[in-house]
Amino acid sequence: MRYAILVLALAGCASQTPAPVSTPGPEPAPPPVVQAPAPVPSTPGVPPVLRPAARESTAIASLMDSARADAGGGRLSNAAATLERALRIEPRNPRLWSELARVRFQQRDYTQAESTALRSESWAGKDNLLRADNWRLIAAARDARGDTDGARTAREAAQRFEK
Amino acid sequence: MARRARILRYFTYALLAGAALFLGYALHLDLRVQDEFEGRRFALPARIYARPLEIHAGLRIAPGDVEDELRELGYRVGGKDSESGWFAKNGNELDVAVRPFMFWDGAQPARRFKITFDAGAVTSLRAEGREIPLARLEPLHIGGIYPAGNEDRVLVRLSDVPKHFVDELVATEDRKFFSHLGFDVRAMGRAAWSVVRAGRTQGGSTITQQLVKNFFLTPERTLKRKFNELIMAVLLEMHYGKDEILETYLNEIYLGQDRDRAIHGVGLASQFYFGKEVQQLTVAESATLVALVKGPGIYDPRRFPQRALDRRNLVLRETRELGSISPEQFMSARAAPLGVVPKPLVGTSPFPAFLQLVHRQLRRDYDEKDLRSEGLRIFTSLDPRVQGAAERALAKRLAQYEKEKRFGPPGLEGAVVVSDPQSGEVQAVVGSRNARYRGYNRALDAARPVGSLLKPAIYLTALSEPSRYTLITPVDDGPFVWKSRGAPDWKPENYDKKFHGQVPLRVALAQSYNAATARLGTDIGLEKVLATVKKLGIDRELRPYASTLLGAAEMSPFEVAQMYQTIASGGFRSPLRAIREVTTQEGRPLQRYALNVEQAFAAEPIYLITAAMQGVVREGTGQGLRNFLAPELAAAGKTGTTDDQRDAWFAGFTGDRLAIVWIGYDDNRAARLSGAAAALPIWGDLMAAVAPEPLQLAKPERIEEVWIDPQSNLRGDSGCPGAVELPFMQGSAPAERAPCATAVGGAVDAVDNTVKKAKSWLERIFGR
């Protein structure tokens, strides 16, 4: 049952149009800000975080865009490869680690999803929005592995950062 | 066709009538020909590539390094707009026309871009006048896993080969190729006559016969072999068209030797001699390759340019005589220089130690047979610049040591492993001071006592219990005796043969005090220390003896790299990986070796041990590094020296590189080696050459920095001489203030504010 919910959540995630990280033309329509929906406590799932991050360098932004396009199109292995490529350029970028964690989740590698999100945590500093995302993802990953207690702890952590 | 087949049949009948025995023999040969030719698939070696160089604005790289990489890729200086595979330098700008390349994630077409440099970094990257975010150079081919005979080839279709190539080949080797039945009676007669008359052998084989000879027959030159060759050539012509025979010939033909690697086929030969694809060969270049058919050694355009030029021009003349090229084409081709690119540094591989690691990691997932025949493309993480720096650092220093006779007799050996601390990707492996030597790979296979390199594991175990141990906890460096039944007493001594009494924990590590460490390790418990070593990524079972604490345990440099990797990546263990991706020959992805991380340690104790290891470099046994690296880099490291000074180690990391250096003698003889004197300079040379990034640690939330007065080991401030700012797990720092602390009131906030004004090196680095 839990898995069914997760799959639905993932399907919802996949069908979302990725928000571009880079701003394309000279007259940019403001990139659509997809805000993470308020978490519904009873339905663990991955929040589709596709927040545009203006501070990325153009190289990183272009790789993030193409990773998101790949992930959106279900080419998860390509998305992961592209994010790793970006991480070789900026290994301390917590947003890249977080995106990679999200792809790992979609690949249903919940152990890697969690530890990769934790890797993002170590560089996240005061980016509370990102940290809340990470902990929600960790909660979902723990749920998927059947670790209900751990998931609850993670959700509590997420809520602390949402404030 | 039908007429030819009929003639052939009559020919065969005639022979049949002549001898029934011959029928059996011919049938036997026919089966062999069909069998082998039909199922014939060239065994293609796995091709192994280095990491591609990714160029983007902000990349720290000198223009010269990009040029070097392009030269190693066989790029020429200057070229036509319509061509790829060249670059041009204009001031601080590099104009590059990259060749098309099939990457793991898809094909990248030929493209042209301009890189602008300033102060050792890329400032802009443009294509067609527009800024582009990223450009990838094709990766360097660094070797392969070869079939028997180390045959290497790149398959081509006949339609890819320029018509003038085929014309020149036919004109020179076999003028009647398109009309004969597999043999040329007149040429055969000439050859036979020369054997009979002068005992000399002479050419005269058709292209078909040459193919048969290469495919099925041994190289001895006898009449019997000639006879077999003839029959089989005829049989081949019976079953297959001229185009099939020609295409196979073009892929089979041996055209040169690159050290131990045999260059086969026109596809690879075009790349090997001219750095281009076969489609782009000019009339003159094709003729140079055709000239090689007669003898790749004799007409090698690199070794014997004049001979190669003469033979090339002969090929051109013969082709003109047949009217296949016009007099104008002939004139301009004959005037062209040979135009070969410098010989690439490949052989079966210029980096045998790294290749061995790749091969071993591949063997977990692939059959040896497939690796040697399926033409897999293997994308690795080797960084040629880092590899080169590591090779040079090791070779140069060992040569210098021998000259100065400082550490022992000649014969000193060494190994280096370099990896990316964040991802665990291996960037360089050197297995010997002679890096081209493909023998004993000390980086992977030499298990040597690690000496003090194990100490960080002991201190990490201690610092994981913040209520018992902080960086300033006093530890006793007095004489220490370990008694255990059935073993002689163990009495570790210090390197300087002195004991130092009570010292702060961080100093015991920085100075690598043995007695203090042995006491600390036995206080915490050997079991806990060994559990830490395991969590750091060492699978090898270490013996549960107290002497293990001081590094009696044996490990390879590669294993040590794994252990330090876990510390360098903030406590996240990632298996060291040399391979990124594997694709089929056509570029279809087969397998990706993903970046996997596992949190093995909490962030806080890792932060503390790393700070202590920075102390080793700043003020301890590793301070010699100040002669190589700016202190702002804040590198973390550890020296290692073993009993009787048999081994010297240095292990450490900066922000973007982790490196392990080992040196010693293969016969494990006693010497006068020490980590600080012998291994550290190699590590320093290597790091200085690759311009590392500063080590910036992600400070965990529960870590606080506190100023400590070194005299009292209490809270200090700018009023205390030599006050140091040290990290503590929250609540573990001393509460009491040192007498020297001048701030009024004693509130911690006030201390922090006072101290902030005194700009310490830590602040400058971390920007806090």
ipTM, 2 decimals? 0.81
- Residues of chain B predicted below pLDDT 50: 200-202, 744-768
The answer to whether B598 contacts A100, with C-beta atoms less than 8 Å apart, is no
Best residue in A21, A22, A23, A58 to probe B by mutation, most B CBs within 10 Å? Answer: A58
Task: Using alpha carbons only, give the angle B552, B620, B568 rounded to the nearest 5 degrees.
Answer: 70
A115 touches B at CB < 8 Å? yes
**Residues in B touching A78 (Cβ below 8 Å):** 105
Binding-site residues on chain B for chain A (CB distance < 8 A): 54, 56-59, 104-105, 131, 133-134, 420, 422-423, 425, 570, 572, 580-581, 589, 592, 594-599, 603, 656, 696, 698, 700
Report the gap between the CA of B599 and the closest CA in chain A (Å). Answer: 6
Q: Do A22 and B581 touch (CB under 8 A)?
A: no
The alpha carbon of residue A163 is apart from the nearest alpha carbon of chain B, in Å, by 17
Instruction: Please report residues of B whose CB lies closer than 8 A to that of A125.
Output: 698
B168 a catalytic residue:
no
* pLDDT computed for residue A113 by the predictor: 97
Residues of B whose CB is below 8 A from A63: 133-134
Distance from CA of A7 to the nearest CA of B (A): 23
Closest CA to B267 of B152, B412, B121: B152
Which amino acid is it at B648?
A: A
Instruction: Say if strands B261-264 and B151-153 run parallel, antiparallel, or are unpaired.
Output: parallel
Within 84-113 of A, beta carbons closer than 8 Å to B belong to 84-85, 87-89, 91-92, 100, 111-112
- Number of A–B residue contacts, CB under 8 Å: 78
Q: Which residues, at least 6 apart from A88, have a Cβ–Cβ distance to it below 8 Å?
A: B54, B420, B423, B425
Q: Say which of B589, B595, B603 has its CB closest to residue A84.
A: B595
The residue in chain A having the minimum alpha-carbon distance to the alpha carbon of residue B54 is: A89
Determine the pLDDT at residue A22: 53
Residue B482: HSE in the Cβ half-sphere, 13 Å Cα cutoff: 23
Amino acid type, B494:
N
Structure tokens at B108: 């990248």
Q: Smallest CA–CA separation between A116 and chain B, in Å?
A: 6
Q: Which structure tokens are listed for A32? A: 């659509």
Active-site residue, selected from the candidate residues B452, B464, B556, B674: B452
Among A62, A78, A111, beta carbon nearest to B134? A62
Q: Do A122 and B581 touch (CB under 8 A)?
A: no
* Residues of chain B contacting A112 with CB distance shorter than 8 Å: 594, 596-597
Contact A62 B105 (CB under 8 A): no
Residue A84 and residue B599: Cβ atoms within 8 Å? Answer: no
The C-alpha of B106 sits at a distance from chain A's nearest C-alpha, in angstroms, of 10
Contact B313, B305 (CB under 8 A): no
In the DSSP assignment, the letter for residue B677 is I
The catalytic position among B72, B168, B173, B705 is: B173
Give the pLDDT of residue A1: 42
Distance from CA of A38 to the nearest CA of B (A): 26
Q: Identify the residue whose tokens are 């006793």.
A: B476
Angle between helices B20-38 and B207-216 (to 10 degrees): 80
- 10 Å CB burial of residue B108 (0-12, 13-18, 19+) is middle
Interface test with A, best of B53, B61, B597, B768 (most A CBs within 10 A): B597
Compute the distance between CA of residue B249 and CA of residue B212 in angstroms, rounded to an integer. Answer: 9
Widest Cα–Cα separation across chain A: 49
List the single best residue of B53, B55, B134 to mutate versus A (max A Cβ within 10 A).
B134
Closest chain B residue to the Cα of A87, Cα to Cα: B423
State which residue of chain A sits closest to B595, comparing Cα positions.
A84
What is the reported pLDDT for B189?
73
DSSP classification of residue B542: P
Active-site annotation holds for B318: no
pLDDT score for B754: 39
Taking 50 as the pLDDT cut, the residues of chain A under it are: 1-18, 23-44, 47
Long-range contacts of B275-280 (CB under 8 A, 24+ apart): B275/B73, B275/B74, B275/B75, B275/B76, B275/B85, B275/B341, B276/B83, B276/B85, B276/B99, B277/B99, B277/B160, B278/B156, B278/B160, B278/B161, B278/B162, B278/B165, B279/B160, B279/B161, B279/B162, B280/B83
pLDDT at B512 (0 to 100): 95
Whole-number pLDDT of residue A43: 36
Report strand pairing: B647-653 vs B636-641. Answer: antiparallel
Q: Of B592, B598, B603, which is closest to A115 when you measure between CB atoms?
A: B598
How far is Cα B659 from Cα B383, in angstroms, rounded to an integer?
A: 13
Nearest to A37 by CA among A28, A27, A29, A48: A48
Note if the pTM is more than 0.95: no
Residue owning tokens 């009292």 = B712
Q: Which residue of B has its CA nearest to A109?
A: B596
User: Residue B151: its pLDDT value, please?
Assistant: 85
Task: Determine contact: A160 vs chain B, CB below 8 A.
Answer: no
Beta carbons of B621 and B510 less than 8 angstroms apart: yes
